[in-house]
Amino acid sequence: MIVRHRAVPAALAVTALLLTAGCSSGGGLAPAGPPGATTPGATAAPTGTASAAPAKGSVTVLRTVAEGLKTPWGLAPLPGGGLLVSSRDEGTISRIDEKTGRRTELGTVSGVAPAGEGGLLGIAVSPDYASDHVLYAYFTSASDNRIVRMLYDERKPSGEQLGAPDTVFKGIPKGFVHNGGRIAFGPDGMLYAGTGESGRRGLAQDRKSLGGKILRLTPEGEAAPGNPFPGSPVYSYGHRNVQGLAWDDRQRLFAAEFGQDTWDELNAIKPGDNYGWPEAEGRSSGAGFHDPVAQWHTDDASPSGIAWVGGVIWMAGLKGERLWRVPLNGTSAAAAPQAFLTGTYGRLRTVVPAGGDRIWLVTSNTDGRGKPKKGDDRVLEARVR
């Protein structure tokens, strides 16, 4: 296992102080969760409890927020307003005004080497963004997948607002496929990353490898305190390709991952557990494997992003071209999954809570596997129940 990190450069820290002095403050992510939480969470959860969701729900697309995006992948709302969107193939991050749809390019993330399913993937906003103005990104380089952080200075001209990337974690296996890529901060302040096994199945069961895992890191790239395997960033293993991470209102972590030919999965993540790949795909009678909360045939899902809203996991489907609704009772499905928007907007890549009963959805029809229509790709706003 290769884990390399470095402290925040002095120049980055000084620039952050200057930015703080020159910019209005905004609400950051939710405060850290209580010490010792079993599964630390991400952001402040919408009102509601996991057991309150009805068996059947509804989805209403309210509007198209932005269109004409090329290979969008990650989406991160900024405190105080604005949506950041990463472009997998162009290696850029853009800011979208969610009210007007106006798009401003922040800049290009240097070092991104897009190929196949790799490129600039997930992005996240620092929990201390109001004071440090730092963004995080997971991307494929010429040699590996890695996580970097960058200063965002919106006072500079469009295209020049991103600082040089500072690598906080590297050595994640890369491949033409199965690069994982989703990152998110929990309310414990730790950084979680979903990785893929890069097409080399055996890596998923090798706890010394970073491939086919969910990782839990400090913001500086260290193995987080309290991880199940002392000194290791590995939080769970036996995954094929994790691209969805979300927490409920009790700080329980859920993850979506691609199966191969038979079953895609939504999993409730327990620290240190083995989720079976490649020995198991979907539910299994094998001893020692953690079964999924729900599973789908790969033609119906191929899941990427997920979000928890009001007791329900909403899961974006790529090949399935639909949005799945999974009501929860604790860490179990409370009813059969329900599909929405089937074929309406094509491939769906990312879903993010937008506050209350709303979500942001990102389509993925320009990724080489879709059939782009006029206006693709899009960010949509929807009301969900």
| Structural Rg of the chain based on CA atoms | 19
**CA nearest neighbour of 354 among 384, 329, 322:** 384
Residue 30 is predicted with a pLDDT of 30
Which residue shows structure tokens 């309150």? 52
Give the chain as a 3 state SS string: CCCCCCCCCHHHHHHHHHHHHHCCCCCCCCCCCCCCCCCCCCCCCCCCCHHHCCCCCCEEEEEEEECCCCCEEEEEECCCCCEEEEECCCCEEEEECCCCCCEEEEEECCCCCCECCECEEEEEECCCHHHHCEEEEEEECCCCEEEEEEEECCCCCCCCCECCCEEEEEEECCCCCCCCCCEEECCCCCEEEECECCCCHHHHHCCCCCCCEEEEECCCCCECCCCCCCCCCEEEECCCEEEEEEECCCCCEEEEECCCCCEEEEEECCCCCECCCCCCCCCCCCCCECCCCEEEEHHHCCEEEEEEECCEEEEEECCCCCEEEEEEECCEECCCCEEECCCCCCCEEEEEEEECCEEEEEECCCCCCCCCCCCCCCEEEEEEC
Q: What's the predicted TM-score (pTM) here?
A: 0.89
**Tokens encoding 276:** 């079976």
Residue 12 is predicted with a pLDDT of 56
Note the pLDDT tens digit of each residue in 190-241: 999 999 999 999 999 999 999 999 999 999 999 999 999 999 999 999 999 9
Q: What is the mean pLDDT of each run of 10 residues along the chain (385 residues)?
A: 44 48 34 34 37 89 98 97 98 98 98 98 97 98 98 97 98 98 96 98 98 98 98 98 97 97 97 97 92 98 97 98 98 97 98 98 98 98 98
Residue 285 is predicted with a pLDDT of 86
Residue 228 is predicted with a pLDDT of 98
Residue 286 is predicted with a pLDDT of 79
DSSP bridge pairs for 217: 191, 223
**Tokens encoding 39:** 């599964």
CATH number assigned to the domain covering 10-24+41-278+286-384 = 2.120.10.30
DSSP β-ladder status, 120-125 and 103-108: unpaired
Q: Which residues, 6 or more positions from 46, have their beta carbon under 8 angstroms from its beta carbon?
A: 249, 308, 309, 310, 353, 355, 356, 357
Sign, CA torsion 40/41/44/50: negative
Residue 42 is predicted with a pLDDT of 36
**CA nearest neighbour of 280 among 248, 238, 319, 330:** 238
User: Cα(first)–Cα(last) distance of the chain, in Å?
Assistant: 43
Tell me what the pLDDT averaged over the chain comes to: 90
Q: Which residues, 6 or more positions from 16, have their beta carbon under 8 angstroms from its beta carbon?
A: 131, 132, 133, 134, 151
* Domain residue ranges of the chain, discontinuous segments joined by +: 10-24+41-278+286-384
